[in-house]
Amino acid sequence: MTINWNGVFPAVTTKFTANDELDFNAIDLNLHAQLEAGAEGIILGGSLGEASVLTDEEKFALLTHTLKVVDGRVPVLLNIAEPTTKKAVAAAQKAAQLGANGLMLLPPMRYYSDHEETLAFLSAVAESTELPIMIYNNPVDYKIEVTLAMFDHLARYSNIQAVKESTRDVSNVTRMFNRFGERFKIFTGVDPLAMESLVMGAHGWVAGLVDAFPKETVAIFRLVKQNRIAEALIIYRWFLPVLELDIHPKLVQYIKLAESLTGLGTELTRAPRLAIHGEERERVLKILNDALANRPQLPEGSWGKIN
């Protein structure tokens, strides 16, 4: 499958049972909701997917299961977040063997590699596989920026095709277009900057709160792309207090709480993450319950599977 780098690609959460095992029933429930809403891709094992606490066996079991459920309807990407080049290459090759349609790729984990080291790492993975790759550029959370000059180098690899733009500098979307034209497809990766990035021309949205609100997320994307900005703004202004949960260190707990309220998941996380409680829980619940009490009616045709 070649990837049409366009649309909403949910960064799905990893669901766990009370026994701390993968909860495939809850995973299926959410996957079906994303597909029904009109998601154009699925991303596994990202920041929201609790990649850092999954074993290799769990990541590949999750990939194999998701590929079966999705059944070719949209591309399924596995996130590569590894501390060594050797492990990253091995993960990319294993993902290809299992049938992944593409990869999302972070710079090295834990070690803050310099410009040369980062390029060597990303290049080694690109050279090891034919799978299409989305570079995940998130210097705020992961401390390493993939700069414009680095993308000059990465442009030589035909399978590096897209970027998840999470620098939190919305002007970077325009900088990428000015420098590279359409060479890289740009996805906004920060929920509370999503509409701004889409208006600036981003091709897609790697979304987080889509896990709890799939239809609203897809509706904003489609309305912007149809230049129905006023209609998109109504939804986006309603959604923004919820979207801002995506940029908190406890985004996993917050978004899983949102999923539990909308019936699309559970709150269960893997330790060391713990469920939120007390004042913090009440504050997040108020944001979510206020949004649910005022959920907007979506324009006809703004979400759903495209035949």
Q: What token pair was written down for 214? A: 């799939």
What does the pLDDT look like over 234-267, one tens digit per residue? 999 999 999 999 999 999 999 999 999 999 999 9
Map tokens 């290799």 to a residue.
Answer: 56
The pLDDT of residue 307? 64
Residues 133-143, mean pLDDT to the nearest whole number: 97
Out of 164, 185, 215, 256, the active site residue is: 164
What confidence score (pLDDT) does residue 101 get?
Answer: 98
At 34-72, the pLDDT tens digits run 999 999 999 999 999 999 999 999 999 999 999 999 999
Domains, the chain, ordered by start: 7-293 (3.20.20.70)
- The pLDDT score that the predictor gives to residue 10 is 98
Cα–Cα distance measured from residue 242 to residue 17, given in angstroms and rounded to the nearest whole number = 25
Mean pLDDT of the residues in the chain: 97
pLDDT of residue 306: 81
Would residue 254 show up in a list of annotated catalytic residues for this protein? no
Q: Torsion angle of alpha carbons 57, 60, 61, 63, nearest 10°?
A: 160
- Give the tens place of pLDDT for each residue, 69-125: 999 999 999 999 999 999 999 999 999 999 999 999 999 999 999 999 999 999 999
- Compute the distance between CA of residue 38 and CA of residue 217 in angstroms, rounded to an integer: 10
Residue 163 assigned as binding residue: no
Active site residue 136: yes
Share of the chain above pLDDT 70, in %: 100
Instruction: Assess whether pLDDT exceeds 90 at residue 1.
Output: no
Of 59, 136, 185, 215, which residue is the catalytic one?
136
* pLDDT digit string, tens, across residues 275-296: 999 999 999 999 999 999 999 9
Q: Which tens digits make up the pLDDT trace of 191-236?
A: 999 999 999 999 999 999 999 999 999 999 999 999 999 999 999 9
